[in-house]
Every structure is written in C-alpha cells, then in structure tokens.
Amino acid sequence: MSISPSVRFPAAGCVDDPWRSHTVRIAAITDEVPGVRTYELHFEDQEVGRAYRFAAGQFNMLHLPGIGEAAISISSDVEEPERLAHTVRAVGNVTDALARMEVGETLMLRGPYGRPWPVDALAGRHVVIIGGGLGLASQRAAIYELARHRAGCTQVTVIHGAKTPEGLFYTREYESWRAAGIELEIIVDEPAAGWDGRVGLVTAVLESMTLEGPAAVLCCGPDPMMTAVASTAKSRGVPSDSIYLSLERNMACAVRQCGLCQFGPKFVCQDGPVFPHAEIAPYLCVPQL
C-alpha cells in the first residue's frame, strides 16, 4: 500500500504554471486555540475556484505581497473545495501578518502541492491517525474522507495529543467524528484544573489499544514524536511501509527548486510531505537534518 516515490501531484487549478498565484478572499475566520486560527478562503476568479481540487494531506503556498509566502496544510474537506480552509499558527512574518487580517481581505494562493495521505489504499485496515498539536490540521481532510467511507476500514481511531487541554484542536467536531464511527482518544502532557481525561504521550495510547486486524498509522507532529510513534507502531506489528509520516520543513518554492526542504536525498515539497516510514527511516535519526 506504499505510495510510489515517482508519483507527482500537480496543482489542480493552475496545472499549466505551478508558479502562478490566484487571489483569494477571506470568507470566514475561526479561532481554534490561542494563537491559531482557521481561515476559509474563496477564489476571486470563480472559474479557478470551480477547477480547484486537492487531496488530503497536500498544502498550498499562501502569499502576502510585500511580506512573503508560507506553506500551509489544507485542513478542509476534499469534497467541498469551494470552502478551502487552512489552520494557521502565528509563528513568523507571513503568519503573523495573516493573523492581523480580517474577513473580506485578500491574499494570494498557489497550489496544491505534495504527496497526500494514501486514503484510497486503506481499505481493510485499522487506520490509526495520530496528530500532535497542530499536526492534526494536515489530517483533518483525511478524517473527513474516512468518516464518509468508514465501512471500507475495520476501524478508524484518531489519537490527538496536546501539551495542555487548551491546545486541543477541532473540539467542536469530536461528536460528529464519533457519530461517524470514529474512535477518538484524547491525551495531554500537562492536565489543567477540571481535566479528567488521559495524561501522557500519544505513544502510550498506541501501546495499549487493541488493533482490529492489519493496521496503518498516519502521523503528523514534531519529528521526535513521529519517530517514537513509528517505533511503537513497529513494536505492535505494523510494517514500516504501513506507517505514514507527514514532515514539516521550510518550503520556499514548493516546486523542488530552492533546496530548503531537502531531507537527505528527498525534497519534502514534492516527494512528500507524506512519506512511508520505510522510505525515510535512515534520515529521521540524523540530528537536525
């Protein structure tokens, strides 16, 4: 069920020119947790909007003229491309400027780019989605797809970990995910007053859970967390080529030209951001690569 490293996923809606940006308008803003907002973007050119398509796990380049660009995962439903959403933490020049913008203002967008989650290859598996903090944003589209097509998998489990309860994302959607048959496990590193949920690391949940048949793990979060998840999954009998990790790296071009996202012989913007663990395991153990 591995994705071929030779596969490329060009940008639907601007296939002719991957450098071309399109104007989008902020249609809605949702505050998720302190410092993090979800922006719903609509294309100004309706023809481009009708043509735009993406796959779960891909990203766009959001461009604020005069400030710069940032690679941001798409966090909306693939079946509602007209309601394109990105969940963004304000951590740099571009994202800080975006955090000061309001509904109705415009910015530029190009994409989508990258290798997505292998949603179509998960039938017959117990799918375990593990998101650490903001990592869940890149997995939200996959959760929506699996919620619709739950019957194809033996089980779908979402494990969401955060440092504190205040850092948990998309809490307003938990009940709809459960209603779709998705098992949801929430865990935090540091409990707050009134917290009666699990405390610890996401790997503890993975270690203790029952896997219903052959499993596939989809993980996004800090590198040390993903390395620990991969090790735990393998100890539970999940093959390395059934463990998928979404890497976050500095991506300035998204078209394999600038070299900033090089990871060993790979370029995260095009060879990833989603990789089978077997493909990148030798490089994950190299400090600061």
In this prediction, residue 16 carries a pLDDT of 61
Mean pLDDT (whole number) for 50-56: 94
Distances, alpha carbon 70 to alpha carbons 108, 111, 115, 249, 252, in Å = 11, 12, 18, 11, 7
Domain boundary assignment for the chain: 22-113, 119-284
Lowest-pLDDT choice from 9-13, 41-45, 75-79, 150-154: 9-13
At residue 244 the predicted structure's pLDDT band, cuts being 50, 70 and 90, is: very high
pLDDT at 7: 40
- For the chain, what's the residue count? 289
Q: Do domains 22-113 and 119-284 have the same CATH topology?
A: no
Kindly report, residue by residue over 14-40, the tens digit of the pLDDT: 446 788 999 999 999 999 999 999 999
Residue 50, pLDDT above cutoff 70: yes
Token duo for residue 60: 């766009």
CB 78 within 8 A of CB 55: yes
At residue 13, does pLDDT exceed 90?
no
pTM of the predicted structure, to 2 decimals? 0.92
- 175-210: per-residue pLDDT in tens? 999 999 999 999 999 998 889 999 999 999 999 999
Query: So what's the pLDDT on residue 287?
Result: 74
Give per-residue pLDDT as tens, 68-102.
Answer: 999 999 999 999 988 999 999 999 999 999 999 99
231 has pLDDT over 90: yes
CATH number for 119-284 (one of 3.40.50.80, 3.40.50.300, 2.30.40.10, 3.40.30.10): it is 3.40.50.80
Span 108-149, pLDDT tens digits: 999 999 999 999 999 999 999 999 999 999 999 999 999 988
Q: What is the DSSP string of 190-243?
A: S--TT--SEES-HHHHHHHSPP-SSEEEEEES-HHHHHHHHHHHHHTT--GGGE
Is the domain spanning 22-113 CATH 2.40.30.10? The answer is yes
Mean pLDDT of the chain: 91
Half-sphere exposure of 65 (CA within 13 A, CB side): 8
Record the tokens describing residue 133, joined without a space: 């903090």
pLDDT at 8: 43
